[in-house]
Amino acid sequence: MTVRFNLSLLRKLIQFSAFLFFVYGGIVTGYYLEDKVSRALPALSCAYDFQGSDLCTLVPFQHQMDHRLGEVIAKGGNLMMGIMPTLITLGTFLLLFVVLNKAFCGWICPLGTFQEFMQLIGQKLGLQRHESLPKALVLRLRPVKWFMLLVLVFGLPLLTGMGMLNHDLGDPFCRICPSRILTTLATGETTQLTVDTANTTTLVMSLLGDFLFGLIIALALTVRQPFCRVCPMLALHAVFRKLGLLRLIKSASPRCERCGLCAKACPMDIHEIHTDMQSRNVTFEDCTLCGRCVEFCPDKDVLQLKYTVIPLFTSSPQYFKQRKKSQTQWEKKNLINGFKQLKSKTEAKAQ
Amino acid sequence: MYRKLLLTRQPNMSCSAAVCQPTARHQNAAVAPPTASFDNAVCRLAHGGLSFLYQSVRGFKHALDQSVARRQEWHMDVPFTDRRMEWSAPLARATTPSKGMLEALNTTYLVAGLIGVLIPACLLSLSAVAAGVDNPENSPAAEPSHDRHEAKKIALENSEGASVTLWKPDLSTQPLTIGHGGVTIPNTGIDNYHAVVAEKDWGDHKEVVIRYEYLFGRPSKQSPSKLAGAEKADFEIAPDPIPREHYRYHSQQTWGFLLRLHGRPLPDLEVTLQTTQGSQRRAITDQNGRVEFQIPDDFPNLVEGERDQRQAQFTLSSEHRQGDVTYTTQLNADYRVNPTHWQSTRLGLLVVGIGFLAGGFLGRVNRAGGRQA
């Protein structure tokens, strides 16, 4: 690939197309839930977006915990009948997931695309972007996604279905998910951007959801992928990541320990890509298979994006040099640098 | 003698849940205090704090809504004066300066500290909810579980000589027996919309009433557009579209409907919308046989900021004469109070703004930390 056309640009084109399809594609696929493509998409495509073409798998999971499994456990019915819808949804999810693995996060997810778009704006506004968060902070954040998955996607809906919590906690993750507000706003719908005073639970959840949405917008200007780090979908992907056909493969070289450019390029700040010298499959639990680490690896064939045994994209010194150059040029062009240049030109003229 | 066929949904008699019944609170517009029948000290603390938060935000929303409500003009076709009188009671009470304004002031101070209390409030909410200290209407103790799979009853007046058919999502049909002044829709075991079609043939007058009911069961794998688009009667009003699965008609919303005679759209035909609350509206179909109605917001004694789960029915009706035969058709459906009465977009924007400021602050702190490092 050339300087002008690189993997990041290709990814952005795919992300943009996927955003259009999953947020507005209902015009093509249909209006009703039955018309949606899979109804178990491994990315945050929201069911509240009536114009969307698919919905994220976390929606049916919560619904099934609440209305199927929870009810069966509470009433003492056939447990297999209660769990069967969840297994069917999981099967559909896995069929899709196997094809692209965690690339659903890095290449498809509308919320991921939005955060990268905000990051782009932050960069062009000249807001200093953190190449890496402190390692300690990254490590502290990692368990949050598991909490989100186990408590918000499975735990609370299950307890609601069992009659232990009120109905408003049947879909707690959806109530705080920024994708719900983002995708509905993208279609001109403001009904999800509300504070719901129906009762204490709806009030707290709506406050939390709105607050989180604002927080993510602001953080995305300066920090890379702030919500992805705590997203329960990432945790769900992590469970099945060994099954995916697309993988990040590392053939460690002695230079790896001293370099660390891959870890700096990683939007999820996965330091292990650089430090792990043993593993061959380095599709770590936080990896979104965006491929930036491969782009910024200066050594030949050390990092590879492989589809089963077929290498799709391989690190090389030539590509690295071009990519690094284009990235530097791109980052120089921002509002603050523009003002600085303008100021220096004016001063030069005055002298 | 011609007597009009009337179809209405009966509430399931087995269900006595508070959410299914119009509560005395809404009829009297008096707010009942939340119950406090719990012993756990942590939950007591949670309840106190969250009640304050809940009442404060609700009061603030109420105060915000007042200014808009004063300016709002109601465009209703029929009994405008009556409707205004119905609305005047809660609005007049809201303008009394004491409680609402004080609550608003409380909230103004509270919003400043919102970021700090948000996460603990959420955690406390969960314990409070688990202990059943939430709004009594929504607490699990007050609400027996609904059996979503139970049969539904539909009242059918003047049904002598009528035939009723149940259309399933896959367009297969099942005749229903009229008895005890109505029909019972059996549990088909299929999830999705079903159509109940009542027909009566008077010779020179053919009458149809249709109602779409959502039944629960295993996935139907059929799009509701298939059922809505199917020709179920000679002359019918079909929703375009039906509310999406798990959604409902709500007041203030605008919905489209198609009028078809023998499957073909009927342009330039008058359609009447009538609600059980007494509102009436008329519209004419366009060249594609489509008509749009805004469902009236005609529930009496609404309390702004408070969830209201009452439902009423609307009926769309139309008449068309072709040759010697007169066709009449009705579409009957339930609608509920629009959630905008207790969901505030302005407050939502405010909270997003607070979140944005918090995010900016965190980003700044991180930047400073990054520079030091």
Mean pLDDT along residues A288-295? 96
* pLDDT for position A345: 85
| Min Cα–Cα distance to chain A from B36, Å | 14
Q: Of B90, B109, B142, at which residue does a domain stop?
A: B142
Mutate one of B129, B139, B252 to test the A interface: name it (highest A CB count within 10 A): B129
Is the pLDDT confidence value at B128 over 60? Answer: no
Regarding whether B294 and B372 lie in a shared domain, the answer is: no
Regarding whether B188 and B261 lie in a shared domain, the answer is: yes
Domain that holds residue B366: 344-373
Q: Which residue of A has its CA nearest to B240?
A: A31
pLDDT tens, A67-110? 999 999 998 888 998 999 999 999 999 999 999 999 999 999 99
Regarding whether A197 and A123 lie in a shared domain, the answer is: yes
Q: What are phi and psi of B67, to 5 degrees?
A: -60, -35
Domain count, chain A: 2
Is the pLDDT confidence value at A349 over 60? Answer: yes
Regarding whether A286 and A191 lie in a shared domain, the answer is: no
Identify whether the C-beta of residue A164 lies closer than 8 Å to the C-beta of residue A66.
no
Is the pLDDT confidence value at B26 over 50? Answer: no
Any domain includes A17: yes
Cross-chain residue pair B351–A71, CB shorter than 8 Å: no
Q: Which residue of A has its CA nearest to B59?
A: A197
Q: Of B126, B142, B158, at which residue does a domain stop?
A: B142
Is the pLDDT confidence value at B68 over 70? Answer: no
Mutate one of B35, B47, B56, B125 to test the A interface: name it (highest A CB count within 10 A): B125
Any domain includes B29: no
* pLDDT for position B76: 31
Domain that holds residue A259: 246-329
* pLDDT for position B35: 37
Residue found by looking up tokens 């391989």 in the block: A314
Mean pLDDT along residues A297-325? 94
Q: Which of B42, B55, B218 is nearest to B120 (CA)?
A: B42
Mean pLDDT along residues A163-188? 95
* pLDDT for position A339: 81
Any domain includes A292: yes
* pLDDT for position B160: 84
Mean pLDDT along residues B27-44? 40
Question: Which one has a higher pLDDT value, A350 or A197?
Answer: A197
**Nearest CB to B307; choose among A35, A198, A219:** A198
Identify whether the C-beta of residue A268 lies closer than 8 Å to the C-beta of residue A313.
no
Q: What percent of chain B shows pLDDT beyond 90? A: 46
Q: What percent of chain A shows pLDDT beyond 70? A: 98
Alpha carbon of A3 to those of A242, A312, A325: distances in Å? Answer: 33, 18, 8
Regarding whether A301 and A267 lie in a shared domain, the answer is: yes
pLDDT tens, A231-241? 999 999 999 99
Q: Which residue of A has its CA nearest to B343?
A: A196
* pLDDT for position A224: 92
Regarding whether A135 and A251 lie in a shared domain, the answer is: no
| Min Cα–Cα distance to chain B from A228, Å | 15
Q: Which residues fall within 8 angstroms of residue B224, CB to CB, at 6 or more apart?
A: A32, A34, B169, B192, B193, B241, B242, B244, B245
Is the pLDDT confidence value at B51 over 70? Answer: no
Regarding whether B112 and B194 lie in a shared domain, the answer is: no
pLDDT tens, B303-347? 999 999 999 999 999 999 998 999 999 999 999 999 999 999 999
Regarding whether B261 and B156 lie in a shared domain, the answer is: yes
**Per the structure block, which two tokens stand in for B171?**
């367009």
Question: Which one has a higher pLDDT value, B46 or A57?
Answer: A57
Is the pLDDT confidence value at B121 over 70? Answer: no
| Min Cα–Cα distance to chain B from A133, Å | 8
Regarding whether B352 and B234 lie in a shared domain, the answer is: no
| pLDDT level of residue B116 (50, 70, 90 thresholds) | very low
Any domain includes A351: no
**Per the structure block, which two tokens stand in for B205?**
């007058």
Cross-chain residue pair A32–B244, CB shorter than 8 Å: yes
Strand pairing class (B205-215; B173-176): unpaired
Mutate one of A215, A221, A222, A229 to test the B interface: name it (highest B CB count within 10 A): A215
Mutate one of A162, A203, A225 to test the B interface: name it (highest B CB count within 10 A): A203
Q: Which of A320, A326, A301, A297 is nearest to A5 (CA)?
A: A326
Is the pLDDT confidence value at B290 over 80? Answer: yes
pLDDT tens, B328-340? 999 999 999 999 9
pLDDT tens, A108-155? 999 999 999 999 999 888 886 656 788 899 999 999 999 999 999 999
Regarding whether A250 and A226 lie in a shared domain, the answer is: no
Of A293-297, B77-81, B276-280, which gets the smallest average pLDDT? B77-81
Any domain includes A345: no
Q: Which of A16, A23, A44, A37 is nearest to A235 (CA)?
A: A44
Regarding whether A229 and A136 lie in a shared domain, the answer is: yes
Regarding whether B95 and B61 lie in a shared domain, the answer is: yes
Q: Of A236, A259, A276, at which residue does a domain stop?
A: A236
Q: What percent of chain B shows pLDDT beyond 70? A: 58
Residues in B closer than 8 angstroms to A213, CB to CB, are 352, 355
CA B224 to CA B250: how far, in whole Å?
19
Q: Which of residues 202-231 of A touch B (CB under 8 A)?
A: 202-208, 210-219, 221-223, 226
Question: Which one has a higher pLDDT value, A213 or B101?
Answer: A213
Of A312-326, B7-21, B192-206, which gets the smallest average pLDDT? B7-21
Regarding whether A116 and A51 lie in a shared domain, the answer is: yes
* pLDDT for position B355: 97
Any domain includes B12: no
Mean pLDDT along residues A292-313? 95
How high does pLDDT run on average in chain B? 73
**Nearest CB to A217; choose among B140, B221, B356:** B356
Q: To 5 degrees, how large is the angle CA A306–CA A309–CA A310?
A: 60
Spell A251-274 as b/e; 16+ CB within 10 A means b: ebeeebeebebbbbbbbbbbbebb
CA A237 to CA A214: how far, in whole Å?
26
Cross-chain residue pair A167–B351, CB shorter than 8 Å: no
Q: Which residues fall within 8 angstroms of residue B339, CB to CB, at 6 or more apart?
A: A191, A196, A198, B250, B307
- Ordered strands of the B6-9 beta sheet: B6-9, B152-157, B182-185
Size of interface A-B (CB pairs under 8 A): 199
- Output the 3-class SS for chain B: CCCCCEEEECCCCCCCCHHHCCCHHHHHCCCCCCCCCCCCHHHHHHHHHHHHHHHHHHHHHHHHHHHHHHHCCCCCCCCHHHHHHHHHHHHHHHCCHHHHHHHHHHHHHHHHCHHHHHHHHHHHHHHHHHCCCCCCCCCCCCCCCCCCCCCEEEEEECCCCCEEEEECCCCCEEEECCECCEEEECCCCEEEEEEEEEEEECCCEEEEEEEEEEECCEECCCCHHHHHHCCCCCEEEEECCCCCCCCCEECCCEEEEEEEECCEECCCCEEEEEECCCCEEEEECCCCCEEEEECCCCCCCCCCCCCCCCEEEEEEEEEEEECCEEEEEEEEEEEECCHHHCEEHHHHHHHHHHHHHHHHHHHHHHHHHHHHC
pLDDT tens, B131-159? 444 444 433 333 434 566 778 888 888 88
CA B301 to CA A326: how far, in whole Å?
65
Cross-chain residue pair A196–B339, CB shorter than 8 Å: yes
Q: Which of residues 38-57 of A touch B (CB under 8 A)?
A: 50
Residues in B closer than 8 angstroms to A219, CB to CB, are 359, 362-363
| Min Cα–Cα distance to chain A from B157, Å | 33
Regarding whether A116 and A53 lie in a shared domain, the answer is: yes
> What is the interface pTM, i.e. ipTM, of the complex?
0.93
* pLDDT for position B153: 87
* pLDDT for position B59: 67
Strand pairing class (B325-336; B249-250): parallel
CA B89 to CA B113: how far, in whole Å?
34
Q: Which of residues 238-267 of A touch B (CB under 8 A)?
A: none
**Per the structure block, which two tokens stand in for A320?**
């690295």
* pLDDT for position B47: 57
Domain count, chain B: 3
Q: Which of residues 264-303 of A touch B (CB under 8 A)?
A: none
Q: Of A236, A270, A287, at which residue does a domain stop?
A: A236
Any domain includes B274: yes
| pLDDT level of residue B3 (50, 70, 90 thresholds) | low
Any domain includes A335: no
Any domain includes B1: no
Q: Which of residues 63-92 of A touch B (CB under 8 A)?
A: 67, 71, 74
Cross-chain residue pair B138–A71, CB shorter than 8 Å: no
| pLDDT level of residue B53 (50, 70, 90 thresholds) | low
Any domain includes B179: yes
Regarding whether A193 and A99 lie in a shared domain, the answer is: yes
Regarding whether A231 and A264 lie in a shared domain, the answer is: no
| Min Cα–Cα distance to chain A from B325, Å | 36
Regarding whether A153 and A37 lie in a shared domain, the answer is: yes
Regarding whether B357 and B330 lie in a shared domain, the answer is: no
Q: Which of A66, A164, A144, A33 is nearest to B245 (CA)?
A: A33
Cross-chain residue pair A206–B348, CB shorter than 8 Å: yes
How high does pLDDT run on average in chain A? 93
**Per the structure block, which two tokens stand in for A341?**
């240049």
Regarding whether A251 and A130 lie in a shared domain, the answer is: no
pLDDT tens, A2-26? 556 789 999 999 999 999 999 999 9
Any domain includes A1: no
Is the pLDDT confidence value at A44 over 50? Answer: yes
Any domain includes B166: yes
* pLDDT for position A134: 86
Identify whether the C-beta of residue A284 lies closer than 8 Å to the C-beta of residue A266.
no
CA A296 to CA A262: how far, in whole Å?
6
Cross-chain residue pair B61–A195, CB shorter than 8 Å: yes
CA B133 to CA B7: how far, in whole Å?
40
Regarding whether B309 and B287 lie in a shared domain, the answer is: yes
Regarding whether B154 and B210 lie in a shared domain, the answer is: yes
Is the pLDDT confidence value at B97 over 70? Answer: no
First to last CA, chain B: 91
Regarding whether B196 and B268 lie in a shared domain, the answer is: yes
Cross-chain residue pair A207–B114, CB shorter than 8 Å: yes
| Min Cα–Cα distance to chain A from B204, Å | 38
Any domain includes B20: no
Question: Which one has a higher pLDDT value, B201 or B370?
Answer: B201
Q: Which of A19, A133, A39, A156 is nearest to A86 (CA)?
A: A39
* pLDDT for position A330: 86
Whether residue B241 is preceded by a cis peptide bond, meaning omega within 30 degrees of 0, is: yes
**Nearest CB to A217; choose among B138, B307, B359:** B359
Q: Which residue of B has its CA nearest to A169?
A: B126
Strand pairing class (B6-9; B152-157): antiparallel
Alpha carbon of A319 to those of A20, A217, A299, A322, B266: distances in Å? Answer: 30, 32, 10, 5, 65
Mean pLDDT along residues B359-367? 84
Q: Of B121, B142, B163, at which residue does a domain stop?
A: B142
Any domain includes B101: yes
pLDDT tens, A45-71? 999 999 999 999 999 999 999 999 999
Mean pLDDT along residues A170-179? 96
Mean pLDDT along residues A303-318? 95
Q: Is the minimum CB–CB distance between A163 and chain B shorter than 8 Å?
A: yes
Cross-chain residue pair A195–B135, CB shorter than 8 Å: no
| pLDDT level of residue B164 (50, 70, 90 thresholds) | very high
* pLDDT for position A23: 97
Cross-chain residue pair B344–A205, CB shorter than 8 Å: no
Regarding whether B289 and B253 lie in a shared domain, the answer is: yes
Regarding whether B175 and B110 lie in a shared domain, the answer is: no
